[in-house]
């Protein structure tokens, strides 16, 4: 059996296992196999698509246990891997499709083994947001992407993979499940890979940060062993390695609060709160006094109304703010 035939047979085995137990879609063993070789993704996609197509065929026509004469003739001339798929993966709906499905599989496998075939078309696009703007974008595969203020991404969606490159800022992705086409978000030298999940990635300038809200995300970087991160977990990918942390729980609808331009602080240092608001304005925010920077801030605020937050700080912390066209300077009360 050639390596290509082995790949096809393995793909068929995984299709059948996942049909019986959909939870295997996020199983570590399946993800390792799927991403070990680009041909694995293509093979799985081919077999899975044919398998799904067979679900629309009337299963009642599959009563006969033996293949039809047409099937027998087609099987006789089919590659060994294709015969293995038909023998090992046969089910009523698949058998009901008879020669039509087998012929379709033959064409698909022939395409799969044709290494010189041209690449399928790829959907490409770029998105960017200005200060104070949060954009909610539907991607070509029906995944949802929410782009934070002052952020930018490039996307490339093809038959074998869905790729998002975060150029700057922060992004939330609610991934449409498709194990044959994993969706990855790349930031710097790190890739965050998911088949169907909800997560956010952002750039702190110093290092990338991942927060997972649903499902699991695999983190990949050259020289670093791949790490799987589950729901309600976060990961900082620093020069020294990875650091796990517990992210804030999601807000309404299971998405992070910032996607609705909303933030809740509970005893957060003013300096850290200001850093969060800095994403939403082009004015440079400065806390002029070290003691004031450590002042604890609590409350719910609109991220796109920076001046309302500053006025609240003035009242609660007894501070004074000077707002110009370019800066917002916050000082302790009584200091000019």
C-alpha closest to that of 150 among 311, 264, 304, 272:
304
Q: Is the pLDDT of residue 334 over 60?
A: yes
Among 97-106, 146-155, 191-200, top mean pLDDT goes to 146-155
The reported pLDDT for the residue numbered 108 is: 53
Q: Give me the mean pLDDT over the 163-173 stretch.
A: 96
Q: What angle do CA 294, 300, 301 make, to 5 degrees?
A: 85
Radius of gyration of the chain (CA): 26
Q: Is the pLDDT of residue 173 over 80?
A: yes
Q: Is the pLDDT of residue 55 over 50?
A: no
The reported pLDDT for the residue numbered 249 is: 83
Strand ranges of the sheet holding 284-287, from the earlier edge strand across to the other edge: 284-287, 327-332, 319-323
Q: Give me the mean pLDDT over the 159-176 stretch.
A: 94
What is the SS3 string spanning 301-314? EECCCHHHHHHHHH
DSSP 30-56: HHHHHHS-HHHHHHHHHHHHHHHHHTT
Domains annotated on the chain, with CATH: 3-113 (no CATH), 123-252 (2.60.120.1440), 261-332 (3.55.50.30)
Q: Give me the mean pLDDT over the 65-76 stretch.
A: 42
Name residues whose C-beta falls within 8 Å of residue 115's C-beta, 6 or more positions apart in sequence.
Answer: none
CB atoms within 10 A of CB 325: 6
Q: Is the pLDDT of residue 133 over 80?
A: yes
Percent of residues, the chain, with pLDDT higher than 70:
75
Q: Is the pLDDT of residue 2 over 70?
A: no
**191-211 pLDDT tens trace:** 999 978 999 999 988 899 999
What percentage of the chain's residues is helix, strand, coil (to nearest 5)?
35, 30, 30
3-state DSSP assignment of residue 328: strand
**270-301 pLDDT tens trace:** 999 999 999 999 999 999 999 999 999 999 99
Of the candidate ranges 18-32, 71-85, 172-186, 314-328, the one whose mean pLDDT is the lowest = 71-85
Contact 261/304 with Cβ under 8 angstroms?
yes
The whole-chain average pLDDT of the chain stands at 80
The reported pLDDT for the residue numbered 333 is: 80
**318-327 pLDDT tens trace:** 999 999 999 9
The reported pLDDT for the residue numbered 96 is: 43
Instruction: Quote the CA–CA distance of 32 and 36 in Å, as a whole number.
Output: 6
CB atoms within 10 A of CB 48: 19
DSSP 98-150: HHHHHHHHHHHHHHHH-TTPPPPP-EEEEEE--TT--EEEE-TTS-EEEEPTT
3-state DSSP assignment of residue 92: helix
85's enclosing H/E stretch is helix 80-88
Token reading at 15: 């299709």
Name residues whose C-beta falls within 8 Å of residue 121's C-beta, 6 or more positions apart in sequence.
Answer: 158
**Helices and strands, number each (H, E), in the chain:** 9, 19
Instruction: Quote the CA–CA distance of 113 and 2 in Å, as a whole number.
Output: 10
Give the β-pairing of 208-214 and 198-203. Answer: antiparallel
């Amino acid at each position: 059996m050639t390596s290509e035939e082995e790949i096809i047979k393995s793909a068929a085995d995984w299709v059948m296992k996942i049909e019986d137990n959909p939870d295997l879609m996020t199983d570590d063993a399946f993800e390792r196999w799927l991403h070990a070789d680009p041909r694995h993704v293509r093979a799985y996609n081919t077999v899975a698509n044919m398998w799904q197509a067979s679900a629309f065929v009337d299963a009642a026509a599959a009563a006969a246990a033996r293949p039809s004469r047409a099937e027998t003739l087609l099987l006789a001339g089919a590659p060994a891997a294709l015969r293995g798929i038909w023998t090992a993966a046969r089910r009523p709906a698949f058998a009901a499709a008879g020669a039509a499905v087998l012929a379709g599989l033959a064409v698909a496998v022939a395409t799969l083994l044709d290494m010189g075939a041209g690449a399928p078309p790829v959907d490409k696009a770029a998105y960017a947001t200005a200060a104070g703007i949060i954009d909610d974008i539907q991607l070509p595969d029906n995944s949802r992407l929410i782009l934070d203020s002052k952020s930018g991404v490039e996307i490339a969606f093809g038959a074998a993979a869905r790729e998002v490159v975060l150029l700057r800022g922060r992004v939330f992705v609610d991934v449409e499940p498709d194990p044959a086409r994993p969706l990855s978000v790349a930031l710097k030298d790190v890739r965050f890979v998911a088949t169907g999940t909800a997560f956010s990635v952002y750039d702190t300038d110093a290092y990338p940060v991942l927060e997972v809200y649903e499902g699991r995300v695999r983190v990949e970087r050259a020289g670093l062993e791949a790490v799987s991160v589950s729901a309600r977990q976060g990961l900082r990918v620093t020069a020294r390695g990875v650091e796990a942390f517990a992210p804030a729980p999601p807000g309404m609808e299971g998405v992070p609060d910032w996607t609705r331009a909303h933030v809740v602080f509970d005893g957060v240092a003013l300096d850290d709160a200001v850093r969060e608001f800095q994403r939403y304005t082009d004015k440079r925010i400065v806390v002029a006094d070290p003691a004031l920077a450590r002042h604890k801030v609590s409350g719910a605020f609109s991220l796109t109304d920076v001046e309302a937050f500053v006025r609240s700080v003035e009242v609660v912390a007894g501070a004074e703010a000077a707002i110009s066209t370019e800066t917002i300077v916050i000082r302790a009360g009584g200091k000019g």
